[in-house]
Amino acid sequence: MAANRLRHSTSPYLQQHAGNPVHWREWNDEALAEARERDVPILLSIGYAACHWCHVMAHESFEDDATAAVMNENFVCIKVDREERPDLDAVYMNATVATTGHGGWPMTCFLTADGAPFYCGTYYPKVARSGVPSFTELLHAITHTWRTRRDDVARAAGAVVDELQRSSAGLPAGARAVDAALLDVAAAAVAADEDRTHGGFGGAPKFPPSALLEGLLRSHERSGSAVTLAVVERTADAMARGGIHDRLAGGFARYSVDAAWVVPHFEKMLYDNALLLRVYAHLARITGSDATRRIAEDTVGFLLRDLSTAEGCFASALDADTAGVEGLTYVWTPAQLIEVLGPADGAWAAQLFEVTDTGTFEDGASVLQLPSDPDDAERAEHVRARLFEARRSRPQPGRDDKVVTAWNAFAVTALAEAGAAFGRADWIEAAATCARRLLDLHLVDGRLRRASLGGVVGLPAGVLEDHGALVTALLALYQATGDASWIGPARELADTALDRFADPQRTGSWFDTADDAETLVARPRDPIDGATPSGAALVTEALLTLSAVVEDGGRYRDAADAALGTAAVLLERAPRSAGHWLTVAEAAVSGPIQVAVVGGGELLGVARRKAPGGSLVVGGAPGSSPLFAGRDLVAGSPAAYVCRGFVCDLPVTSADNLVEALTAS
């Protein structure tokens, strides 16, 4: 048996385990073959670099020589980064949920040599407690069962695989049309589930509902519903004031452990912040709120300052822990505030940020909140700047520098859209730099890869969400810059998605892996929106937008409409699990709206500020791209051409007339 083989991995999470006494392998044919040759089960451990409980289990068990010896003797041990291999994570998370009723990370699964899971779980402690066996006890029990009851193992594995294959069959056929009536019902159902006390949806733990908020914003723009807009405003305000929002550095933590957004789980993910930037920028554009715009600006500041990589892209996450202690970087006591700010400002800041003697976190420390606006904004900004500088001298959380295609694409889209809406050319250029790097590095022999580290691209292939998110990002850059060169690679990626990921047996249904990807015990397919939008919803958004950009867009529009038709059952029966589907469906029902501004200037700025979310807004010269074919200046003046789907209005040359055209039902 060879020793630990993770040292040269392109995953920071796997590199964290490269010094373990466990003989970890990456997932590959060689590892599966070794299990077959040794006639031992596979111990599959899946996690990610910013995961607190992954660190706990690693410290308790994987760094322990005695535990490692049991693992090495009786198992082939495989470590997987869920962010680098979402296909494996999806398959074995489905198995874990199917067999235990819940899931999470670290995920611990025991497999046969052909990858069939027969026992699954999550975190196992070093010492048995609360009815959960110790990890070592579990290892001995699995080993005994493997050696003495192999038929039972085979039956259990077969039953799990049957369930995995059944559950990956796709959504049931539905007959409901995707129209304004369905979208109104879906938005109303989501609004009815709002936590009116604390904002958001559901109880603890509470996650930022980015996709739902974006979908509700688009619903409001179409319907004019004040109720729908109020849901978004209350949730956005509650998150911005709560401890989940980093009061000093900007950005948002992964989730709140309580229902009131007070105490975060401190990891900060690229995908959350990119998706939330899109929401806050969109909300600020609708309402004109300076406070909401500042949250968007602070989120951009966090992305560019704390997650930028040397290659011009964005790192995946900041760790939940600092030096093994959760929240060490972020929390404060009244005495610490006084030490940095002095008695007067320290006491004032403690009241402003709700830092109490008893604390809101552990050991009398508090997470900074902002329950109400300060009575002295200038003083508050001065205090914030001083605390931020003091915090930078503390130990800092580790950073997962892995560049994930889809999550970087989320950031590109959000930066391009926010930059266009707010007139920030520097944000648009940051987005373009990242997109160029993704195309240069992550496209290998015409096929998209999932991730890279330090400029070295990893082996895992791109999944459906990578293709859908990147197409949308490239088209967002086309809109923000007017540069038609972004359209070509977007179209090539969309064609790959149609050719490789669409289910040829079920029109409108998509697999999450390509038809030539590694064969697993089940081919992943999950259309439900979760912490990030589903790959199917993302590729539908991409195809819908692309269909309005190119002259021969019928193929893309037909595929988008078919996918929306399949997802109608989600919008009808489970709208809280279909936030991004609602986002895309609103754009489709509205046309999508297309605004081609010939000559730019004031009209282009008005279009970018006033066009509903999901609209296609581009400025350019006559003939500069297919959208500008046959469209010219009007009497020598800039003109805006507004279309909805296949129907176009007469061109307008004044800002007032453009606003009227954009708001017409």
Contacts of 196 (CB under 8 A, 6+ apart): 234
Banded model confidence at residue 108, pLDDT cuts 50, 70, 90? very high
**C-beta neighbour count of 103 within 10 angstroms:** 18
Type of residue numbered 18: A
Calpha distance 605→622 (Å, rounded): 18
* Structure letter (DSSP) for residue 134: P
At 296, which CATH number? 1.50.10.10
Tokens of 71: 């693992």
Question: Does the residue 172 lie in any domain?
Answer: no
Of the three residues 362, 378, 394, the one that is the final residue of a domain is 394
Give the closest residue to 504 by CA, choosing from 571, 562, 439, 446.
562
Same domain, 614 and 585: no
Peptide bond into 592 cis (omega under 30): yes
Give the helix/strand (H/E) hosting 322.
strand 321-322
Same domain, 612 and 655: yes
Q: What's the mean pLDDT in 595-607? A: 93
Same domain, 414 and 558: yes
Q: How far is CA 286 from CA 142, 221, 225, 233, in A?
A: 57, 8, 13, 11
3-state helix, strand, coil in the chain (%, to 5): 50, 15, 35
What is the CA 516 to chain-centroid distance, rounded? 25
Bridge partners, residue 353, by sequence? none
Residues 500-528 have pLDDT tens digits of: 999 999 999 999 999 999 999 999 999 99
Torsion sign (Cα): 264, 242, 275, 576:
positive
pLDDT at 665: 65
At 36, which CATH number? 3.40.30.10
Three-state helix/strand/coil letters over 423-440? CCHHHHHHHHHHHHHHHH
Contact 479/618 with Cβ under 8 angstroms? yes
Ramachandran angles phi, psi of 596, nearest 5°? -105, 115
Least confident of 61-75, 122-136, 388-402: 122-136
Question: Does the residue 173 lie in any domain?
Answer: no
Same domain, 149 and 220: no
Same domain, 98 and 141: yes
pLDDT at 169 over 90: no
* Tally of domains within the chain: 4
pLDDT at 577: 96
Contacts of 588 (CB under 8 A, 6+ apart): 178, 544, 560, 561, 564
Tokens of 113: 């040599």
pLDDT at 1 over 60: no
Same domain, 409 and 483: yes
The runs of H, that is alpha helices, within 168-261 are 180-192, 210-223, 226-241
Calpha distance 56→324 (Å, rounded): 9
Residue position matching structure tokens 């589903």 = 534
pLDDT at 627 over 90: no
Tokens of 351: 């009241």
Same domain, 247 and 269: yes
Banded model confidence at residue 168, pLDDT cuts 50, 70, 90? confident
Angle at the Cα of 289 from the Cα atoms of 380 and 239, rounded to 5 degrees:
65
pTM of the model: 0.95
Calpha distance 231→226 (Å, rounded): 9
Question: Does the residue 7 lie in any domain?
Answer: no
Same domain, 606 and 649: yes
Tokens of 526: 């999950």
Of the three residues 590, 614, 636, the one that is the final residue of a domain is 590
Q: What residue numbers bound the domain in which 291 lies? A: 180-320+400-590
Calpha distance 64→172 (Å, rounded): 48
Question: Does the residue 4 lie in any domain?
Answer: no
Same domain, 75 and 88: yes
Same domain, 197 and 280: yes
pLDDT at 175 over 80: no
Coil, helix or strand for 308? strand
Tokens of 175: 């007959």
Banded model confidence at residue 174, pLDDT cuts 50, 70, 90? low
51: left (phi over 0), alpha (psi -120 to 50) or beta: beta
Question: Does the residue 79 lie in any domain?
Answer: yes
Proportion of the chain above pLDDT 90, given as a percent: 91
Of the three residues 136, 167, 198, the one that is the final residue of a domain is 167
Calpha distance 25→2 (Å, rounded): 9
Q: What's the mean pLDDT in 535-556? A: 96
